[in-house]
Amino acid sequence: MKVDINNPQQVMDVLELKPHSVYLVLVKHRDNNPSHKAVLFTGFPNGSNSEVYCNNYEEPFSMMTLYSMKILKFLTKMED
């Protein structure tokens, strides 16, 4: 199935991501970049405010700016 990477709701649905949760992921920023392990914090159910943290970069970046992402493991759900 093709995923519209400009539609964060569709990304959340296809990858079966839970809102307000934390995942261990494998990400690439560009096709020619190596893959890096990172932590994904999902935001709202529509996919907004979902950010990826990786020790190779100083600041988090939006899930929607990645070239590729593979979910390795669900870690926890952030409770209120």
- What is the longest distance spanned by two Cα atoms in the chain? 39
DSSP, res 30: S
C-alpha to C-alpha distance for 74 and 22, rounded to whole angstroms: 6
What is the per-residue pLDDT for 2?
65
What is the per-residue pLDDT for 40?
94
What is the per-residue pLDDT for 57?
72
What is the per-residue pLDDT for 49?
86
**Residues with Cβ within 8 Å of residue 10, at least 6 apart in sequence:** 3, 4, 47
The tens digit of pLDDT for each residue in 24-70 reads: 999 988 889 889 899 999 988 888 888 999 887 778 888 888 888 89
C-alpha to C-alpha distance for 62 and 41, rounded to whole angstroms: 10
What is the per-residue pLDDT for 71?
93
